[in-house]
Amino acid sequence: MAELPTDLIPAVVLQVHVVLQFVDRLVEPLQHLLHLSAIMLPLLTVHRTDFPPENTMAHSDYVIDVGTENFTDQVIEASHDRPVVVDFWAPWCGPCRTLGPNLEQLAEDGGGDWILAKVNIDHNQPLAGRFGVRGIPAVKAFVDGEVVDEFTGALPKSQIQRWLQMFLPSEADERAKQGRQAEQKGELHDAERAYRQALDDDPNHATALMGMARINAERDDLDGVDQWMERVPPGDDGADSADFQQLWLKIRAADVDDVDHLQARIDDDTADLEARFELAVATAADERYEEALQQLLPIVEIDGHWRDELGRTTMLRIFKLLDDDEAVRQWQKRLGRAMY
């Protein structure tokens, strides 16, 4: 083996010294890491084995497990009958283990007023993505197939109770529901009693008010219909419903002139806006909506401000009754051009 020239020895020794110092700096953190691992590994093992096994939680008729395969039936469809609260969780999530028992106890206490559906995101990642779950526990309330409210994190039980009250049916809601069921069976006396009980609890309950209006319409008491409809709060879903629009048209059509006479008046004077409006509500009350719109559009074209824009607002009411979305879009375009 060739000998190292003596003049290079100091340089080599210096390089070896530098390398040893570098290795020493690496070894010290590794020793600390190994020491920390020796401490943490037993703790982690105990923590993981403390998780409840999958699908062994004590569920009931009011607390169910759901996944991708049955979410539509058990949550979306079921929420048309009663609210469904979905708890997106995972076994490794500490806050989930705090929140879960509180939700389950509240569901049991509710006695079927609402259903708790638990989704393990480890097994149902597509569902978590579909509903925008970014952190867990994530809790979402479904009513009529839609998410109506939600929260993330382990809220205290009292706060969850207040949250539930925002969408759970009230006593007045239950009475109104009973009234609607009786009305659909033709049991008008029972329906009226239930609606009045709902209104005793909530005088502005739109569903009960509309129910009373329909009952009066069945009895041909149009004055009564009008009185009940006037009590429906503006902006409420009840005031925007198809039922409301149909009853509104029926009331207005009750006092109109003979249809043939109205058409003769329009033939004599195309600017007879009163005749056009009466003919429109008469045909609309008979569910001939296209014919009604054909009379209302000229009212907007001739005088858009006539009787507080009655031509335009009546067209908007009829739009809510049309089943053909394309027809609605076409009429909306024609109305827009007439206004501007």
Active site residues: 93, 96
β pairing state of 63-65 and 115-120: parallel
Give the chain's end-to-end CA distance (angstroms, integer): 102
- Four-residue CA torsion sign, 20, 23, 27, 29: positive
Cis peptide bond prior to 137, omega within 30° of 0: yes
| Residues 214/194, Cβ–Cβ less than 8 Å | no
Strand partners, 151: 139
Task: Name the H helices within the chain.
Answer: 9-49, 71, 94-110, 125-130, 157-164, 171-184, 188-201, 206-218, 222-230, 242-253, 259-268, 273-285, 289-302, 310-319, 325-339
